[in-house]
Chains A and B, each alone.
Chain A
Amino acid sequence: MKFTLSWLKDHLDTTASVDEIAEALTDLGLEVEGIENPLATLEKFTLGKVKHAEQHPDADRLRVCIVETDEGDKQIVCGAPNAREGITVVIAKPGDYVPGIDVTLSVGKIRGVESHGMMASERELELSDEHTGIIELPSGEVGESFADWLAKNQPEKVDPVIEIAITPNRPDALGVRGIARDLAARGLGTLKPMKEAHVEGTFPCPINVTIDEDTREHGCEVFMGRLIRGVKNGPSPEWLQQRLKAIGLRPISALVDVTNFFTYDMNRPLHVFDADKIRGNLRVHRTKGGETLVGLDEKEYTFPEGAVVISDDEEIESIAGIMGGLRTGCTEETTNVFLEAAVWDPIQIAKTGRALKINSDARYRNERGIDPAFNAPGLELATQMILELCGGEPSEVVQAGAVPDTDRAYKLDTDRVQSLVGMDIPAEEQRRTLEALGFRLEGDMAHVPSWRPDVQGEADLVEEVARVASLTKLVGKPLARLHVGVPKPVLTPMQKRENMARRTVAALGYNEAVTYSFIDKASAELFGGGSDATMLENPISSEMSHMRPDLLPGLLQAAARNQARGFMDLALFEVGPAFDGGEPEDSQLQIGGLLVGATAPRDPYGSRRPVDIYDAKADAEAVLSAIGAPARQMIQRNAPAWWHPGRSGQISLGPKNVLATFGELHPKVLERMGVKGPAVAFTIWPERVPFPKAKGATRPALTASDLQPVERDFAFVVDADVEALTLVNAAQGADKKLIESVRVFDEFHGPKAEAQMGAGKKSLAITVRLQPSDKTLTDAEIEAVSQKIVDKVAKATSGVLRG
């Protein structure tokens, strides 16, 4: 919402400066977004008088002038045709910045003649587009400030423009009067009395108006109008054009400009029809769907069912409260005009506006709610202005529907400001504030003014009082602790787990990324997503159309971007939600980690090697361990399709509860995502890890034997597809009491191994640690356990000791 200072002063009697007004507005909740104050840029220019002007010796169009200024006589070369002796001009001196030409002046030589400044045109000072000659003032003294002269003689030219942001609850502040009312309540001046007009109609309105029965509710409350015949439309007067131009509106014609004036002055949108183009009467009704209308913006709109429109006897002529139709719009030739003022249902306006995708000023105002009580007075004032500007003869007013009764009252509890806001404001001051805002007080009941649809309860009264008193006066007051003493921890076990997981992965050398929760459909599909249920109805781009089914596609895209920048070795991770449906409950927390390229940069010690699945597995296990997953886990092979089928595994508790997946990504997935491999990854679902049942910080006692443990190594020849874990578990089962641990320390496979051990064979070597608990082991006992291990492994894997 833009307005000028002089416009504000139509409604507010004030001596406050622009800065004071701006500060008060922002503090009142009408946040100032910008101030254009032409006076600020004109401050340094002063008036001068041309004492003498003669032809430039070396240029036909230039004149050399001697100008009297506050700093004495100056020689100025000027090309304006009106530069002549005796005129009062505006001087810009060397060092001054001239806004219209974006130049800071210096002493110059023009065709050999020195020039000490310039005499400015209106365009050069950004006062208008006038540039046929320099400014010639009818009055003014040498040395007088041009800004002062303008403020005194042509205030409209230096009228400061203030732009404020209007929150949706304040339709009244969409009119200059509403803004003035707030300022007056704050004490920045006095609200001038409301203008009133009553124009008696001299003949019955030949155009009748009706509202269909089904349109009265949630459609049109009241529709008033009148014919004014014999008007002469044309450009509106200078003052009106100046007003509209100052706030960025294009003057169109007197009739249209009048409607725009009331829109901004009083937040009273109006519409003018060319009455000669209306066939028969006007009818407010709902659309059936499929009808069309070409609007004033010359676009054709097709109506949905149930939109509220205005038709004449033949077809739709106006989108009620949103935009008029082109056919019945007023033109320079209009001589008979039908003036409309109506109150529309805000929700209906919003629905229709959204369906037709029209963002007009009328829609903006009507869907926030205009003052219904001002409908008739607004029509009268506009009639009066049209008669003043265009002449003509008004008919009587026709009306359909009735002005809605918005009267409501809430109890003003003057203690509430203290208890809710914490400000001490005397009761009398509270009542004064509300009255200044237009509330009517009856005892302690405050009746809400018709222009404040937002006030709907007692809390709103408190807000108004506090707002006008200024929240800057609010002094902080300690919030008592809920519990006396040391604060209790507040995080849930799951929240702690998330933090622990994040810092564990970072400690393992991964860089945390935060990627968008939505990705493109193709990427989502690669990871089991991309269904319509996870689709956005209005994505910002096709790259962000579906909720991610997994964190890995986002991390892979990040990897590809980094590879494009020349970073080939990456360790990225993210902690966040993944989505498997479109309902609120369809998301799970994931921890995704991605390793690409090599484990380390090249170094003299050969640390560098390509990342492999055992890196990903170790990291996944470290994270699971950090968040308290049970140690005994299953490893399964049925990882989803985006993993390498032979090089991926699932860490699970029982066959169904998969805690994590790790492995190499499928080469096709890498190719599609544009990542150059090798690439391994893990996905962990921390919410699937059960919380330990035991509570309390006490740990079981340490059992550490004094007896010497014994380690024995075994190498087995097994079929190449035998899994190490099967062998380890078999060995472990040989003597659960004695065997403390079993670890694989060598795997020998491939052509060389097969050459030694036969086709389809490999060797797995384990080290078994025996920990006796009551006496040192004898050789015979060790031998017995060893034999049991060999037997168990043979039974489980058909493996034999390697000779």
Chain B
Amino acid sequence: MDDLRQKYLDAIAGAGDEAALEDIRVAAVGKKGEVALAMRSLGKMTPEERKVEGPKLNALKDEINAALAAKKEALADAALDERLKTEWLDVTLPGRPRPAGTVHPVSQVTEEVTTIFADMGFSVAEGPQIETDWHNFDALNIPPHHPARQEFDTFYMHREEGDDRPPHVLRTHTSPVQIRAMLDQGAPIRVIAPGRVYRSDYDQTHTPMFHQVEGLAIDRDISMANLKWTLEEFCRAFFEVDEVELRFRASHFPFTEPSAEVDLRCSWEGGKLHVGEGDDWMEILGSGMVHPKVLEAAGVDANEWQGFAFGIGIDRLAMLKYGIPDLRAFFDSDLRWLKHYGFSALDMPTMRGGLSR
């Protein structure tokens, strides 16, 4: 029996393919194979002999079957290896092209600003871009023929002959949204209003359309000191730095009193903006306490309510934060520019994850 065992184990080890292995299986453990024949011979044995030989034969059968299975798997593995060797692809070829879109810096920065102010309880107000003369000027304490009007380089809409209303304007600032929001919601109120504004000016640093965000907070006891804190917090969050320093300078806007231009401490070391350090001051926005006449025009009792307003250039914020050099390129839609300065669709500014990557 040991001969038998050795004979087949050797044969299995030497089998070159599955067919040879099958032949061995038939010859060894097939119905008419040697092991089966040997099994049959058990019948002729005495019960004592059978008790000894039976288990031996069963063990031999199992051993051969196991050897067959192992060899079969080894042969299959070898065949697979052989096939895989032929299935070579050039992995240095490019992946299938997948377009990557971008979000414009103006949209991105608008969301950043909105995110910060939302955290401070400011909601987002909106207003039309073709605006009435009253909302854009009169209600903001800029009466007709006042020299302040001339400083706006206003675009006027065409008026049909016979229509004697003052011509509508393309809003020259987001401030008329203050009026609309107060007329709509009354006081107290905290809103920001981002959006397109228009002035008839086109040169290196001006485009006839640009973007502003207006801020307005009205309550019973809001002071200019609250304005300063709010702007400090905003700048700190927006520029993603630990410290900022703002400087308020007296100025004049017809719709605020007192009015202040706000400068931000910075340095331009190495041609790069560093906020919160250095000896330079950069003018970043105009602000002030809402003029009583503006409150009254918007139906808010100036004896009871007071608060602040400010206006910031969104495009300018984008230029400063992201180092974008030329305002005019914002509106040129040059694909290279859009891809270079644009943001991924999933770059959503949040307070928990930060505003920028």
Which A residues form the contact surface with B (CB < 8 A)?
26-29, 31, 167-170, 346-347, 350-351, 354, 364, 367-368, 418-423, 454, 457, 459-460, 462-463, 466-467, 470-472, 474-479, 481-483, 487, 489-492, 495, 499, 502-518, 532-540, 544, 547, 555, 558, 561-562, 565, 567, 570-573, 575-577, 579, 582-587, 600-601, 603-605, 607
Contacts and interface: CB of A to CB of B under 8 A. Distances in A.
Given A471-B260, A512-B342, A514-B331, A502 B103 contact: yes
B118 interface: yes
A459 B121 contact: no
Contacts of B248: 471-472, 474
Interface string B290-326: 0111000000000000100000000000000000000
Nearest to A359: B150
Nearest to B207: A516
Contact of A605 (B96, B132, B158): B96
A189 B114 CA distance: 46
A96 B146 CA distance: 51
Sorted nearest first, the 4 A-B pairs with minimum C-beta distance are: A509-B99, A422-B225, A476-B229, A558-B333
B130 A27 contact: no
A243 B339 CA distance: 55
Interface in B114-149: 114, 118-124, 126-132, 135, 144-148
A512 B338 contact: yes
Contacts of B246: 476
Nearest to B167: A537
Contact of A26 (B119, B132, B160, B249): B249
Interface stretch (B13-21, B22-30, B76-84, B250-258): B250-258
Interface of B: 93-94, 96-104, 106-107, 111, 114, 118-124, 126-132, 135, 144-148, 151, 155-160, 167-168, 170, 188, 190, 196, 198, 200-202, 208-209, 217, 221-226, 228-232, 246-252, 254, 257-261, 289, 291-293, 306, 330-336, 338-339, 342, 344-346, 348
Contacts of A585: 128
Contacts of A601: 97
B333 A31 contact: no
Given A170-B252, A503-B103, A506-B101, 15 more contacts: A454-B252, A459-B292, A477-B228, A491-B124, A506-B345, A507-B346, A509-B98, A511-B335, A511-B342, A512-B342, A536-B156, A537-B159, A582-B158, A584-B131, A585-B128
A557 to B, nearest CB: 8
A604 B95 CA distance: 10
Contacts of A367: 145, 147
Contact of B225 (A476, A579, A582): A476
Nearest to A566: B335
B101 A508 contact: yes
A130 B46 CA distance: 145
Contacts of B104: 512-514
Which of the listed residues A454, A505, A562 has the most CB atoms from chain B within 10 Å of its own CB? Answer: A562
B277 to A, nearest CB: 18
Given A506-B101, A540-B202, A482 B250 contact: no
B142 to A, nearest CB: 9
A107 B135 CA distance: 68
A532 B160 contact: yes
A586 B251 CA distance: 36
Contacts of B147: 168, 346, 350, 364, 367-368
A513 B341 CA distance: 11
A82 to B, nearest CB: 46
Given A479-B120, A536-B170, A572 B333 contact: yes
A483 B122 CA distance: 11
A421 B338 contact: no
